């Protein structure tokens, strides 16, 4: 239920920075688990309406960073400034034996009771069914939906509080290419309405296709931020293949 706590620990942006500054910004974020440093002085920001991909090897700290940005985990040091951040965890916290409508209604009521939205839950559910295009499946058990459609429900729950920034942790894992494309059509439709998106992925092609900017995290440090072409230019692999460039970049930086 971590997504219900979103942004409660974040400072509010000043009116001025809401107009011109990033939608979400982290400065010098560090976090250790036991003796192990998961993040070490990471800077990260997402502009209003921007789409950013986080890539990096397993254990690099992507999930830890996203959960700190979401306000559901506390950094040991560093600052996070942002308002209206929604968190879509990798494991959808859906009730498989309840219908799509029942799942949406449950979370709409929780958000309403938590004061995160004034919308009557029933109205919210209708809006989310329309947004997800799942109106015809409203009565179906969530467990019978495809992975892509379950992910839509998961994202719709994150959207109930009309966030300025949507954080998605490996949203397309397990989806086939068609499901993945439909999921991104859906997510990028939201960006059209001004919502910024930051997502993690192991799929370098997906990062290039859907993100305006790529951030590389390795062993707890942010080691690159720029466009896919800038990542290609950062190494001399003699190939236009972004995955090769990414791997060469990691090697050059000792990872």
Distance, C-alpha 228 to centroid of its chain: 19
Q: Give the other-Cβ count within 10 Å of 255's Cβ.
A: 15
Q: How far is the CB of 199 from ligand ADP (least distance, A)?
A: 12
Give whichever of 64 and 132 is closer to ligand ADP, judged by the CB atom: 64
- What's the rounded Cα separation, in Å, for the pair 210 and 22? 19
State which of positions 46-85 bind Mg ion (CB under 5 A): 62-63
Residues 6+ apart with CB under 8 A from 176: none
Distance, C-alpha 92 to centroid of its chain: 13
Binding partner of 59, given ligand ADP, Mg ion, none, CB within 5-8 angstroms per partner class: ligand ADP
For residue 23, what are its two tokens? 């939608």
Among 15, 16, 19, 58, interactor with ligand ADP by CB under 6 A: 58
Using the contact rule CB under 6 A, the part of the chain among 53-61, 74-82, 127-135, 153-161 near ligand ADP is 53-61
Q: Is 64 in the site for ligand ADP (CB under 6 A)?
A: yes
Using the contact rule CB under 6 A, the part of the chain among 33-41, 44-52, 173-181, 205-213 near ligand ADP is 33-41
Residue 149 in contact with residue 96, Cβ under 8 Å? Answer: no
Closest CA to 83 of 188, 181, 10: 10
Q: Is 154 in the site for ligand ADP (CB under 6 A)?
A: no
Give whichever of 30 and 117 is closer to ligand ADP, judged by the CB atom: 30
Q: How far is the CB of 42 from ligand ADP (least distance, A)?
A: 11
In the three-class reduction of DSSP (H, G, I as helix; E, B as strand; rest coil), residue 242 is classed as helix
Check residue 94 and report its DSSP letter: -
- Residues 199-238 vs ligand ADP: string with x where CB under 6 A? ----------------------------------------
- Residues 69-88 vs ligand ADP: string with x where CB under 6 A? --------------------
For residue 112, what are its two tokens? 């309403």
In the three-class reduction of DSSP (H, G, I as helix; E, B as strand; rest coil), residue 120 is classed as coil
State which of positions 93-152 bind Mg ion (CB under 5 A): none
Give whichever of 39 and 128 is closer to ligand ADP, judged by the CB atom: 39
Residue 207 in contact with residue 176, Cβ under 8 Å? Answer: no
**Cα–Cα–Cα angle for 16, 17, 19, rounded to 5 degrees:** 70
Residues that bind ligand ADP (CB under 6 A): 33, 36, 38, 56, 58-64
**Interface with Mg ion (CB under 5 A):** 62-63
């Amino acid at each position: 239920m971590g997504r219900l706590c979103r942004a409660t620990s974040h400072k509010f942006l000043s009116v001025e920075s809401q107009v011109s500054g990033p939608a979400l910004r982290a400065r010098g974020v560090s976090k250790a688990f036991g003796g192990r440093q998961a993040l070490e002085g990471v800077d990260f920001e997402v502009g209003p309406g921007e789409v950013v991909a986080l890539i990096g090897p397993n254990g690099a700290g992507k999930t830890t960073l996203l959960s700190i940005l979401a306000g559901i985990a506390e950094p040991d040091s560093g600052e996070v400034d942002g308002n209206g951040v929604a968190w879509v965890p990798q494991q959808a916290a859906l009730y498989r034996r309840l219908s799509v409508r029942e799942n949406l209604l449950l979370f709409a009521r929780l958000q309403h009771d938590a004061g995160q939205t004034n919308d009557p839950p029933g109205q919210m559910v209708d809006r989310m069914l329309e947004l997800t295009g799942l109106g015809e499946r409203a009565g179906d058990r969530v467990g019978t939906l495809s992975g892509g459609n379950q992910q839509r429900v998961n994202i719709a729950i994150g959207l109930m509080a009309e966030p300025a920034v949507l954080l998605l942790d490996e949203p397309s894992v397990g989806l086939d290419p068609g499901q993945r494309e439909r999921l991104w059509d859906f997510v990028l439709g939201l960006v059209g309405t001004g919502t910024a998106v930051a997502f993690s992925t192991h799929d370098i092609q997906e990062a290039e296709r859907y993100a305006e900017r790529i951030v590389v995290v390795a062993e707890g440090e942010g080691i690159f931020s720029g466009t896919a072409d800038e990542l290609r230019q950062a190494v001399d692999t003699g190939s236009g293949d972004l995955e090769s460039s990414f791997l060469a970049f990691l090697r050059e930086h000792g990872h």
